Amino acid sequence: MNLTGDRIDRLGESVIVIENPRTEGPLAFPLKSDTTVSIIVTGGSMECVVDMADHHIDVPGMLIILPTQIVESVSFGSGFRGYCLVMSSSFMANLPMENKIPLIFNVRRNSFFPLEDQALAAVQGYVRMVQSALRAPNNYKDEIVTHLTVAYYYGLGTYIHDIADRGVPESRYDQITNDFINLVRDNCHLRRDIAFYADSLCISAKHLSHAVKEVTGDSAIKWIERYTILNAKSLLKTTSLPVGEISDRLGFPDPSDFGKYFKKFTGYSPRAFRAL
């Protein structure tokens, strides 16, 4: 994302802190980044679409976008105040933390977390300490930011798990649908048949189709098609890969089949869409 702000502090490309972010210049959407992006809203409003979920945010809180997620749009209101934290995959992978999986699962499931006064103050305190560490002359900036971030994520994990626990317990259909969507997100470039996903979840294709339809209102195959097209659009708009290579990456037998599939759902050929 091409973002600017009132002030930008960096730890190389590992950690970037943008104060009062705003978009700058044309943005190529949809896009999938290899970074973890946290947008902290302290005032004003913003809108974005992440993994086909619309977020209109006008209360204090935090939106977290994981590397596997696709951003279709983002805009900040004129009165927006807050921060954007961008952390590279290598920085996140090297954080000395145990048991990250439950935290990642809850982030993927919820994305946006309203922050009450105490939680908001804690998040702002973390950001300000990181800013101070990055601005001061110090030979141990990496170590300081790493340890601050570990403490921050442990506290964030507790808060996020608490928020998740307050919600309505998931039904069996909810669980099936969440697991299915996660599988589609990670595997639609390899498999687009319902049988594969049903087998992966150890249920029948009929059971899977019924659960997804009940929870989302759309068929399972519709979700597979949506994620396939979303990935195709992202590769066309944010890379210079030849259409043939994109076709291969998405698991199509040849570029002609990819072109027909893409045009069926978008009305454009891959090359025409790239030129828009």
Q: Could you identify the residue written with the tokens 């309203």?
A: 114
Is the predicted pLDDT of residue 119 greater than 80, yes or no?
A: yes
pLDDT score of 175: 86
Sequence spans of domains, the chain: 3-166, 173-275
More confidently predicted of 108 and 53: 53
- Indicate the pLDDT class of residue 152, thresholds 50, 70 and 90: confident
pLDDT score of 161: 56
pLDDT score of 3: 82
pLDDT score of 166: 55
- Indicate the pLDDT class of residue 148, thresholds 50, 70 and 90: very high
More confidently predicted of 164 and 240: 240
How far apart CA 23 and CA 1 sit, in angstroms, is 8
Mean pLDDT computed over 237-248: 92
Mean pLDDT computed over 142-164: 78
Q: Which residues contact 248 (CB under 8 A, 6 or more apart)?
A: none
Using alpha carbons, list the distances in angstroms from residue 70 to 48, 89, 177, 213.
Answer: 11, 15, 19, 23
3-state DSSP of the chain: CCEECCEEEEECCCEEEEECCEECCCCCCCECCCEEEEEEEEECCEEEEECCEEEEECCCEEEEECCCCCEEEEEECCCCEEEEEEEEHHHHHCCCCCCCHHHHHHHHHHCEEECCHHHHHHHHHHHHHHHHHHHCCCCCHHHHHHHHHHHHHHHHHHHHHHHHHHCCCCCHHHHHHHHHHHHHHHHCCCCCCHHHHHHHCCCCHHHHHHHHHHHHCCCHHHHHHHHHHHHHHHHHHHCCCCHHHHHHHCCCCCHHHHHHHHHHHHCCCHHHHHHC
pLDDT score of 155: 79
What CATH number should be reported for the domain whose range is 173-275? 1.10.10.60
Is the predicted pLDDT of residue 150 greater than 90, yes or no?
A: no
More confidently predicted of 175 and 98: 175
Nearest to 63 by CA among 78, 150, 171, 80: 80
- Percent of the chain residues topping a pLDDT of 70: 89
* Mean pLDDT of the residues in the chain: 87
- Percent of the chain residues topping a pLDDT of 90: 49
- Indicate the pLDDT class of residue 160, thresholds 50, 70 and 90: low
pLDDT digits (tens, 9 = 90+) for 59-114: 999 998 888 788 888 999 989 999 999 999 888 877 777 655 556 666 766 788 88
- Indicate the pLDDT class of residue 267, thresholds 50, 70 and 90: very high
pLDDT score of 78: 86
pLDDT digits (tens, 9 = 90+) for 208-222: 999 998 888 889 999
Angle at 120 between CA 72 and CA 45, to 5 degrees: 40
Per CATH, the homologous superfamily of domain 3-166 is: Regulatory protein AraC (2.60.120.280)
